Amino acid sequence: MTDSNRRALRTAFQALLAVAAAVPLLADTPGIADLPGYATLVVAATALSRLMSMPSVERLLPPWLRAGAGGGADGEQ
């Protein structure tokens, strides 16, 4: 699996978890009252992104989702 595919899968997984965390707050009709729900969505996505970039979490991921052996951190290019 290429590095770009791994990054896409990790991003999709993070987005899915963030949406799942915010869905209960956004279940009714959308509007300005749902601002806390949208804030939860952004905070959850940000927290998951930062968490999954940690080396200790990287080691817990399945081998096919880990960064390449010579690639370093996800943010490096």
Three-state SS sequence of 37-77: HHHHHHHHHHHHHHHHCCHHHHHHCCHHHCCCCCCCCCCCC
Per residue of the chain (77 residues), what is the pLDDT tens digit? 787 888 888 888 888 887 887 777 666 666 667 777 778 888 888 888 888 778 888 888 788 777 664 444 444 43
* Burial bucket for residue 25 (CB in 10 Å: 0-12, 13-18, 19+): middle
Instruction: Look up tokens 């010579």; give the residue.
Output: 70
Provide the pLDDT for residue 32: 67
